[in-house]
Structure 1
Amino acid sequence: MVVSDERQRVMPTDVDRNKGKVLGYKEAVLLTNPTNPDLKGEVDDKYFYSNDDKDGKVYGWISSTNPPLGFWMINPSNEYRIGGPLKQDLTTHVGPTVLTVFCSTHYAGEDLAIKFGQGEAWKKVIGPVFVYLNSNAAAKANPSILWNDAKKRMNQEVASWPYEFALSKDYIKFNQRGTVRGQLFVNDRFISKQNVAASNAYIGLGPPGEAGSWQRENKGYQFWTKTDNKGNFIIENVIFDTYNLYATVPGFIGEYKYTSNIKVTPGSNIKLGTLIYKPPRNGATIWEIGIPDRTAAEFFIPNPPSQFKVHKYKNNSESKFRQYGLWEQYGVLYPKNDLVYNVGTSNYSKDWFYAQVTRKIGNKTYKGTSWKIIFNLANVNIASNYTLQLALAAAHEADLHVYVNDEKIQKPHFSTGHIGGSNAIARHGIHGLYWLYSIGIQGKLLVKGTNTIFLVQSSGLSPFEGVMYDYIRFEGPHQ
């Protein structure tokens, strides 16, 4: 099975799964007596093979027959998919099964469930997708021959989009589409006095909505591309309609939205010129934890529990989080006391667990956890407000409370309320829907010297409840 250059491996069979032991949920099966003895002790789980839609243009299987046969799913466009380029979906799994998922709530939950009002009219063209078969005798010794050929064919299909053979009047052909182009910069005066090119940003057109609404949008078409290192972008083959322009920029929190609606007409070539994104910011950075990239991948990811053999890929470091039972390792590393992070001495890649999960009490009971961030302030302006920028990479059935220097008060200084249905912890997703909270903290709550911020995830009904952090930043007084 091949999902990417890194995720390639010999797979178990349906029979192997049926003989195995079902674990914490039905998709995860411990292989106890597989046909291939090298796989004994591994866990098979279809969620190991999920991909962001932006990375899911080609994937499939290579058989062991002589000559080998490649069986590939090619998605030449993601315009008909929902939730934007970072939406994760299943690709392949034991069967051998190959999927193209058009609409799902995976890694998002109810926020992406399609709902209709009374009498609401709706239609949408899904696909076409391309199924590609290839074969080469030399692939017996080098299966990558078929994979590399499939990638070449994928590039051909992408270049051929939109297809001309589709006859439906609802399928929009090339001459009924337009192009939007421009250049995106970031203006954060606390980082640079100059505007900074928004390099490698995901920028796209979607139905009108609020900033960031694209990740929960599920009825219209979306058209995304990636900026170059100077922030330039070209969005091609856009179906005629009215859109908002959105972007998410690595290295910066928040969501960009262009101020005006963009009306694309057949054959139009819209030049937006220079665009400026001002990310959320109230004051200078006092300290920060993580990297603002909408994932928890930079934090500490443990090895799986010792009873499970490591699920190996061609390049295992690329998918270290795609192992079963990682959430169980929190209790191993922190058997009695919860995580404490000391700003200035702790290292988030070693000392910040990738997910704030629940703690198991006894055989079947779980409870929420309380993490501490300890930091020192040389001076405090008690008359000013400070800001905690709290970006979450995922949340599942969570209720996150924030306390400042006193965890025992009756009401937290901030609460997210009950959020999230991504199930990203159980599904090895490293991110789900993105959440950003700019939390004001009164200076009078802080003290000169040692301060503590408590992050209390209060929900505790299952091992899969909790949050994944993307990035945390503590800002000085408003300026």
Structure 2
Amino acid sequence: MRLHEGEPFKKVYGPVFAYLNSVSRVHDSEQVLWSDAVLQLSEEINRWPYDFPKSEDFVPANERGRVEGRLLVQDRHIKGGKFVYGHNAYIGLALPGDVGSWERQSKGYQFWSRADKVGNFTIENIVPGDYNLYAWIPGIFGDYKYNTTITITPGCIIQLGSLIYNPPRNGPTVWEIGIPDRSAAEFHVPNPYPNLINRLYIGKPLHNFRQYGLWNRYNELYPNEDLTYNVDVSDYSRDWFYAQVPRKIGNNTFQPTAWEIKFHLPFVMRGNYTLRLALASATRSNLVVRFNNPVARPPHFSTGLIGQDNAVARHGIHGLYWPYSVEVRSNVLVEGANTIYLRQPKVISPFQAIMYDYIRLERPEA
């Protein structure tokens, strides 16, 4: 957060609820305690916002507003351009800003909800003020923003009707890697070191990434050469390491890594191809992209130095979202075998890493 000279700032954090429970029986005590806590959680959610705070800055329920609507997606290369539902979309109100700016805001309040299976959503208990509506949809590349400012007044109910998201798209998909869900969880997360296992996560495959020291497994899986992924035969759940980390070559000495994506084009179309590149996390990294020439100067694309979320060091699977759309001139591609080089040259620490969310190559329209 950054405050200018003389800028006033005030924000309510809380109330904070702490729940302590106990059980007399030893058998299955953890499950009994957990189930009881989940039940209490649902009760507290139904009571929110609480009616007991006396602070004049805590807005009671009867002075808050509500927004309702439906989110649909239209992509001319998904189901022939027909509308599809914004299934399980994350939809929220935050301070007015650019597309995706909600992720880096901290001064204002945010109010979020999830759409149902047909895209219907309700955002409740919104503090009065001016907002933009933002959204992102698991399985769909990019961010949505409703371009009209929404003003919430005490007790209001705003019905937005159907909103249409047209995600970034320049042409048909040639190939794709991963799932656009802002997480690297679908990629290969290696087994933990036996002496470092956190037993809390044993038997919970969705939490494998929470184990300590997984980044060091990269050297063992790729001892001599960096990761190479062939889109025709490779499986991203098995062959794409969950994070592009530096290679350790000595005590506190590291080497840049350069991953390769290999693909075949039966012919090259005139016009520009597009590389959709979404990062789930970046920590003081610079992703440099080259096509068919690992030493091209200048590179075909570079993110510049980005990221400070430390997701690898914190045993996370995502941080801030970084979506990029890279124009690829057809003259850098060739008929037959092609290679994309993904290099991360910043290697002062082992945690200067990138987690990929999703990569897609689009060809020009016919």
Which category of TM-score, normalised to the shorter sequence, fits these structures?
A: over 0.9
The counterpart of 1:226, out of the listed 114, 137, 142, is 114
Match of 2:346 in 1: 459
Q: Name the CA shift for 1:235/1:298 in 2 (closer, same or farther; >3 Å).
A: same
1:326-365 pair list within 5 angstroms = 326-365=214-253
Distance 1:337 1:133 in 2: 51
Q: CA deviation at 1:364?
A: 2.1
The answer on 1:269 being equivalent to 2:161 is: no
Q: CA deviation at 1:154?
A: 1.3
The answer on 1:238 being equivalent to 2:105 is: no
Match of 2:23 in 1: 136
Q: CA deviation at 1:321?
A: 0.7
The counterpart of 2:144, out of the listed 253, 256, 259, is 256
1:166-177 pair list within 5 angstroms = 166-177=53-64
The counterpart of 2:311, out of the listed 418, 421, 424, is 424
Match of 1:103 in 2: none
Distance 2:205 2:297 in 1: 44
The answer on 1:287 being equivalent to 2:185 is: no
Distance 1:267 1:442 in 2: 53
Q: CA deviation at 1:400?
A: 0.6
Q: Give the number of aligned pairs.
A: 365
Structure 2: 5+ residue runs without aligned partners?
none
Match of 1:398 in 2: 285
Residues 50-98 of structure 1, C-alpha deviations (whole Å, 9 max, x = no match): xxxxxxxxxxxxxxxxxxxxxxxxxxxxxxxxxxxxxxxxxxxxxxxxx
Match of 1:379 in 2: 267
Distance 2:201 2:228 in 1: 33
Distance 1:293 1:162 in 2: 30
The answer on 1:148 being equivalent to 2:35 is: yes
Residues 141-163 of structure 1, C-alpha deviations (whole Å, 9 max, x = no match): 43322221221111111111111
Distance 2:23 2:197 in 1: 33
SS class of match (2:20):
strand
Contact persistence 2:23–2:29 (CA under 8 A): no
Q: Which amino acid aligns with 1:201?
A: A
Q: CA deviation at 1:307?
A: 4.4
TM-score, structure 2 length as denominator?
0.97
Distance 1:424 1:220 in 2: 24
Q: Which amino acid aligns with 1:405?
A: N
Distance 1:230 1:153 in 2: 29
Q: CA deviation at 1:298?
A: 0.4
Q: CA deviation at 1:310?
A: 5.3
Q: CA deviation at 1:318?
A: 2.2
The counterpart of 1:190, out of the listed 59, 65, 77, is 77
Structure 1: 5+ residue runs without aligned partners?
1-113
Q: CA deviation at 1:187?
A: 0.7
Distance 1:311 1:157 in 2: 30
Contact persistence 1:386–1:478 (CA under 8 A): no
Contact persistence 1:139–1:145 (CA under 8 A): no
SS class of match (1:426):
coil
1:46-195 pair list within 5 angstroms = 114-138=1-25, 141-192=28-79, 193-195=81-83
Q: Which amino acid aligns with 2:103?
A: Q
SS class of match (1:375):
strand
Percent sequence identity over aligned pairs: 53
Q: CA deviation at 1:174?
A: 1.0
Distance 1:131 1:362 in 2: 46
Distance 2:2 2:26 in 1: 46
Q: CA deviation at 1:478?
A: 4.9
Q: Name the CA shift for 1:361/1:135 in 2 (closer, same or farther; >3 Å).
A: closer
Distance 2:202 2:94 in 1: 36
Distance 2:153 2:265 in 1: 56
Q: CA deviation at 1:447?
A: 0.6
Q: CA deviation at 1:309?
A: 3.7
Distance 1:141 1:363 in 2: 45
Distance 2:223 2:194 in 1: 16
Distance 1:141 1:249 in 2: 38
Match of 1:415 in 2: 302
Distance 1:402 1:392 in 2: 13
Q: CA deviation at 1:261?
A: 0.5
